[in-house]
Amino acid sequence: MNYPVISRPGSIKAELRPNTTLCAMFTHWILALIHGLAAIAAAPANLSAECLRDTMEYMADLNSAEPKIYAKLMYDALGKQGSGIINGNVDRLGSYSECLSVQAPGRKFEGEYCKMHVEQEGVKFVIGICVPDSCSSRDITTMASMDILKYRGTSFLKPLPSFVIQNETIPTVAETFCSRGLFPADTFAIICLCLSCLFIILPIIGSIYTAVLNFKASSAFEQCKTIILHRKQQDPERDKPAAKSNFPLEEEYGSEKKHTCTDRVLKSFAIQENFPAVMTGIPQNHEYPALNGIRVLSLLWIISGHTSQLASVFNIDNSFEWKSRVLEKPLYFYTLSGPVFLGVDSFFFLSGFLGAKSFLILTENSGQEVTLAMVVRYIYKRLRRLQPLHLASIPISIGLISLVKWGAFWELPKHQWDSCRRVWWANTLLITNFISVSDSCTGWAWYLSADFQFHLTTPLVIFLYVRAKHLMFAAVTLIFAACIITSTLLSYFLKLSIRYPRGESQSRMNYWVEYYTKPYCRYGPFLVGMILAIMIVKKQSPYIKTRAQAVLGWISALVIMLTVITLAFVLDDAPSSYSIMAALYQGLHRSLWAVALGLILVLCHEEYGGHLNTMLSCEAWSFLSKISYACYLTHPIIIILYCGLQETLFHYQDINMLYLFIGHSALTIIVGLLLTVLVERPFQRLMHI
pLDDT tens track for 647-660: 888 889 999 999 99
3-class DSSP state for residue 1? coil
Residue 428 predicted with pLDDT over 90? yes
Q: Determine the pLDDT at residue 236.
A: 54
3-class DSSP state for residue 394? helix
Q: Closest Cα to residue 498, out of 344, 339, 341?
A: 339
| Phi/psi at 355 (5° precision) | -65, -45
> Which of 426-430, 553-557, 683-687 has the lowest average pLDDT?
683-687
Round to whole Å and give the CA distance between 417 and 206: 31
Round to whole Å and give the CA distance between 243 and 617: 67
Q: β-strand 172-179 against 123-132: which pairing, if any?
A: unpaired
Residue 524 predicted with pLDDT over 90? yes
Q: Which of the four pLDDT bands, split at 50, 70 and 90, describes residue 231?
A: low
Average confidence score pLDDT of the chain: 85
Phi-psi region for residue 219, left (φ > 0), alpha (ψ -120 to 50) or beta? Answer: alpha
Round to whole Å and give the CA distance between 436 and 431: 9
Q: Determine the pLDDT at residue 27.
A: 53
pTM of the predicted model as reported, rounded to 2 decimal places: 0.86
Q: How many CB atoms lie within 10 A of CB 232?
A: 15
Kindly list the distances between the CA atom of residue 505 and the CA atoms of 123, 399, 419, 513, 662, in Å, as whole numbers in the listed order. Answer: 14, 31, 20, 12, 31
Q: Determine the pLDDT at residue 227.
A: 67
Residue 373 predicted with pLDDT over 70? yes
In 3-state terms the chain splits into helix, strand, coil percentages (rounded to 5) of 65, 5, 30
Residue 502 predicted with pLDDT over 90? no
Say which residue, 238 or 306, is predicted with more confidence: 306
Q: Which of the four pLDDT bands, split at 50, 70 and 90, describes residue 259?
A: low
Q: Determine the pLDDT at residue 13.
A: 35
| Phi/psi at 150 (5° precision) | -140, 155
Tally of CA atoms within 13 A in the half-sphere of 335 that contains its CB: 23
Q: Which residues pair with residue 176 across a beta bridge?
A: 116
Residue 38 predicted with pLDDT over 70? no
Residue 21 predicted with pLDDT over 70? no
Q: Determine the pLDDT at residue 319.
A: 85
Question: Which ranges in 126-270 belong to alpha helices (H)?
Answer: 137-145, 187-216, 219-233, 250-254, 261-268
Residue 242 predicted with pLDDT over 60? no
CA angle 677, 678, 684 (to 5 degrees): 75
Sheet (strand 111-120) strand order: 123-132, 111-120, 172-179
Round to whole Å and give the CA distance between 489 and 487: 6
Sign of the Cα pseudo-torsion (533, 534, 536, 538, in order): positive
| pLDDT, average across residues 394-422 | 90
Q: What is the CA radius of gyration of the chain?
A: 34
| pLDDT, average across residues 509-513 | 90
Q: Which of the four pLDDT bands, split at 50, 70 and 90, describes residue 116?
A: very high
3-class DSSP state for residue 124? strand
Q: Which of 157-166, 330-339, 422-431 has the highest mean pLDDT?
A: 422-431
- Return the H-helix or E-strand segment holding 116: strand 111-120
